[in-house]
Amino acid sequence: MELDREAIMRIIPHRPPFLFVDRITAMEESRVVGTLQVTGDEWFFPGHFPGMPIMPGVLIVEAIVQAGACLALHQGGFTGRIPYFAAIEQMRFRRPVRPGDLLTLEAEMQWIKGRMGRLTGRALVEGTVAAEGTFTFVMGETSG
């Protein structure tokens, strides 16, 4: 299953400038793959860092988890709910993400019990891991 940005926004509640998934290229029962083209025009680059733009690690985490949220909300029966972080574990940053990079976002559902779940995920640039970690989430009430 492939999804463009408009279809992604029908699944997750995030909106620009805080939407960090451009496309879902694959979605299976417990795994999702998406992409984010980092252009250099993003709002955070002028201040992070002047003269050496690097995507903030917390936003790389957000991008991974937004891809995972597409999976959890679409496949997990949580349509219309708001996903919240409950924990971030074993987070590692392996390489900087710079303007011009295409981030490949991968997330795999480990488990869902009630409104809680855990996924592992990573962001890659040209096949090299930029960041990876484990994320626990809880589904809040419906978004409106």
Residues acting as catalytic residues:
48
Residue 2 buriedness (CB in 10 A; 0-12 / 13-18 / 19+): exposed
Task: Output the DSSP codes for the chain.
Answer: --B-HHHHHHHS---TTS----EEEEE-SSEEEEEEE--S-STTGGGS-TTS----HHHHHHHHHHHHHHHHHHHTT-TTEEEEEEEEEEEEE-S---TT-EEEEEEEEEEEETTEEEEEEEEEETTEEEEEEEEEEEEEEE--
